[in-house]
Amino acid sequence: MAQSFAAMVDQWTRDSEARLLAVFQRAVELLADELGLSRSNGGRTPYRTGNLVRSLVARIGDMPGQGGPDQKYAGSDVGAVVAQAILGDAISLGFQANYARRMNYGFVGMDETGRLYNQAGAGFVEYAASVWPTIVELAAEEIKGQVMGRAV
> Using one digit for the tens of pLDDT, what is the confidence trace for 36-87?
999 999 999 999 999 999 999 999 999 988 998 889 999 889 999 999 999 9
**What three-state secondary structure class fits 120?**
strand
pLDDT tens for 117-131 read 999 999 999 999 999
State the amino acid at position 49 in one-letter form: T
Q: Give Cα 11 to chain centroid, integer Å.
A: 31
List for the chain the helix, strand, coil content (%; round to 5).
50, 15, 35
Q: Is a pLDDT exceeding 80 seen at residue 90?
A: yes
- The CA distance from 4 to 112, in Å, is 70
Query: 68-73 long-range CB contacts below 8 Å, 24 or more apart?
Result: 68/98, 69/98, 71/96, 71/97, 71/98, 73/97
Give start and end residues of each alpha helix (H) in the chain.
Answer: 5-35, 51-54, 78-84, 100-105, 124-130, 132-148
Domain borders along the chain are 5-148
Closest C-alpha to 35, from 92, 90, 108:
92
What's the whole-model pTM score? 0.87
